[in-house]
Chains A and B, each alone.
Chain A
Amino acid sequence: MRSLPAKPAFGTCIILLVIACALLAPLIAPFDPNDQDILNSLAPPFSTGDGGRHWLGTDRLGQDILSRMIFGTRVALTVAFGAAAASAAIGVPLGLAAGFLGRAVESAVLVLADMILSIPFILLALVIMSVLGASLLNLVICFAAVRWAQFARVSYSLSLELREKDYVMACRAGGISLGRTLLVHVLPNMLGPITVILTLELAYAILMESGLSFLGLGAPPEIPSWGGMLQEGRDELDTAWWLTTSPGLAIMATAIACNFIGDWIRDRLDPRTQGVLR
């Protein structure tokens, strides 16, 4: 087997590391992420506190940054995967319907998608989250309510291409029902591009979740999240750089990792770049 090029290999390592942290969080975190130690607040990295060393320092309440980072992966992954999967689950069927069910459905879906995509995401998200209230489930709902449009547009344009394929026509000529044609012959042939969009949406959701948490509309405060940590550390930027540096780097690394993987899949699927890669 050919070895992975550097970028996707790096991306895969980061994502695997994040997933491992999320799964094993209670085992590998040196402290309880919500354990407060006021006497030891704002301790710099590598300082020793009650019951062990704070490798990445502590925050204003004396909570261990490393442990909160490790538990923060759970929020990042839950929201990212939940948001991407929910958006795809709504958007792809709508895109297919727009492509195959005639002009009325087509116009309805596309107009709705364009409307939603023409409003800045953070604005829509602010409205939705302040109505629904801050919780992880509501975050996923918020993403799905907006980002389905991206999947709908991509799967619509793919179905425009696929519905002209002779084998889709052959299904009609062979008396295969439309539902079966879509599920068995159209959907599998659009999975490649959809996967690429999925990885890019993962990165987008991680960034946006952090952004929303930073604005106080993401994960509730008792759940450690990277965006929330950034927000808490904002006031101490001059005095305690370690509050914001670690979560900031984690957000960046995870988003970049997703993008690297997505780019790589896209290049692999695009016949025009095949020659360049080999």
Chain B
Amino acid sequence: MSGAEPVLEMRDVGVELAPLGGAARRITSDVDLALHAGRTLALVGESGCGKSVTALAAMNLLAPPLRLGTGHILLRTPGAAPRDLTRLSPAELRAARGGQLGMIFQDPMTALDPAFQVGEQIAESLRAHLGLSRRAAHDRAVELLQLVGIHEPERRVRAYPFQLSGGMRQRVMIAIAVACSPAVLIADEPTTALDVTVQAQILELLRELGARLGMATLLITHDLGVVAENADTVAVMYRGRIVERASAEALFTAPAHPYTRGLLASLPPLDGPRERLRPIPGQVPPAGVADADCPFVARCPEAMPRCLAARPALTAIAPEHEAACFLHATVAA
């Protein structure tokens, strides 16, 4: 991880679910993430582990019944003092979202307003944040469509969302997200709704844009293949906590947490004899964090008595490699 200070830093973030008239329940806890300029951090985990909620929290976008229980989100943009997103006024927050923070949603089919031409939707952001004139915003929208690899941008800028394919719509979403050259790009499963071939193109585009515009990217995904090809660092989430954090290379060559190992083992091998898939045994746990024991203990093949007695903390097991598991704590101790 580079020596420079992270552009976006989430410290000790915990999200709560507070239903109307019910008791608040913690969904995620102690989430620390640091996004560096020009680099991609992948957040991996199965459905319900708190990935998307973390992405929303990163933009301070949680809406009832979800709310930020604990933690701070620090945004460091060049030429400005670090700002805590949780302490900004609504107007400052609006300026930061879309201005310094761009977000790409999972489903490009529903994330564009069906009633407007895509160019108008790109221009809306430009006019709101950069104060461009109608004309200038339109011209910039055409450039942005070109930037995200849409052919004939002069024509497509007037297209309605229903006239575009899924891949093209996701390109438009990316164009909207990067329109104001944000410092941070948050992509919540940007390729889940797309064909496999289109997925690769979109990821390629994201990587290229991240490098070219120097954006810090948070890539939320459950697809380890996507992680291997696109991420610099990886954080693995399970039941609302980060259980392992490492460089992408270290994670794939030397996975430390039994959950990460299980995830990797469950991938079908591309070569060699075809065999049964190896799932992680047990049920996907309900949302919410537990404090008393290791969150993975019920499904862990290497569970020990002490795993039931206490929850292992995230500790360094190698340079730039942390895991929350007693297997490694004993080695270190």
Contact = CB atoms under 8 A, between A and B. Distances in A.
Interface of A: 102-103, 165-167, 169-170, 172-177, 180, 184-185, 188-189
Contacts of B102: 174
Contacts of A180: 128
Contacts of B115: 185, 188-189
Contacts of A167: 110-114
B105 interface: yes
Interface string B170-198: 00010011000000000000000000000
Given A103-B20, A169-B105, A175 B111 contact: no
11 contacts: A166-B105, A166-B107, A166-B111, A167-B114, A174-B97, A174-B177, A175-B98, A176-B128, A185-B113, A185-B115, A185-B116
B94 A177 contact: yes
Chain A contact residues: helix, strand, loop or mixed: helix
B153 to A, nearest CB: 20
Given A176-B128, A188-B115, A170 B94 contact: no
Interface of B: 20, 59, 61, 64, 93-99, 101-103, 105-107, 110-116, 124-125, 128-129, 173, 176-177
A175 B105 contact: no
B97 A189 contact: no
Contacts of B103: 170, 173-174
Nearest to B109: A166
A165 B111 CA distance: 7
A186 to B, nearest CB: 9
A189 B20 CA distance: 28
A176 B124 contact: yes
Given A166-B105, A166-B107, A175 B97 contact: yes
B99 A175 contact: yes
A174 B176 contact: yes
Contacts of B107: 166
B61 A189 contact: no
B105 to A, nearest CB: 5
A176 B176 CA distance: 12
B169 to A, nearest CB: 11
A185 B124 CA distance: 11
A175 B129 contact: yes
Given A174-B97, A174-B98, A189 B105 contact: no
A173 B97 contact: yes
Contacts of A172: 61, 97
Contacts of A189: 113-115
A240 B121 CA distance: 65
A175 B177 CA distance: 11
Nearest to A166: B111
A201 to B, nearest CB: 24
Contact of B110 (A165, A175, A177, A185): A165
Contacts of B176: 170, 174
A70 B74 CA distance: 71
A115 B107 CA distance: 40
A166 B124 contact: no
B110 A166 contact: yes
Contacts of A177: 94, 128
